[in-house]
Amino acid sequence: MSLLDRIPSLSDDEVVNLLANARRLSETGDDKQKAAAAELLPALQEEADARKAERLERAKEKRAATRKASTKAQAAAA
């Protein structure tokens, strides 16, 4: 199984760490490392962006639920 195939099963922290390493190697690595980083960067960036969007959406839903509960509690108290 290649690293590209494993990306979806990595944790969020592992994806971010691997993305940082790939970026670093694309700048400072030898030719082989630069080639490997160039192959991984688009998939890693896409996965990191998707996970960030999911986290933001979950946070938005959580805030909305909290506001709704607060509004109901205030209405019941009045």
Q: What is the pLDDT along the chain (78 residues), one digit of tens a residue?
A: 899 999 999 999 999 999 999 999 999 999 999 999 999 999 999 999 999 999 999 999 988 888 877 776 676 766
Give the residue numbers spanning the domain of 19. Answer: 3-77
pTM (two decimals) = 0.77
Structure tokens at 10: 């990595």
What one-letter code names the amino acid at 45?
A: Q
Q: What is the DSSP string of 14-53?
A: HHHHHHHHHHHHHHHS-HHHHHHHHHHHHHHHHHHHHHHH
Number of domains in the chain: 1
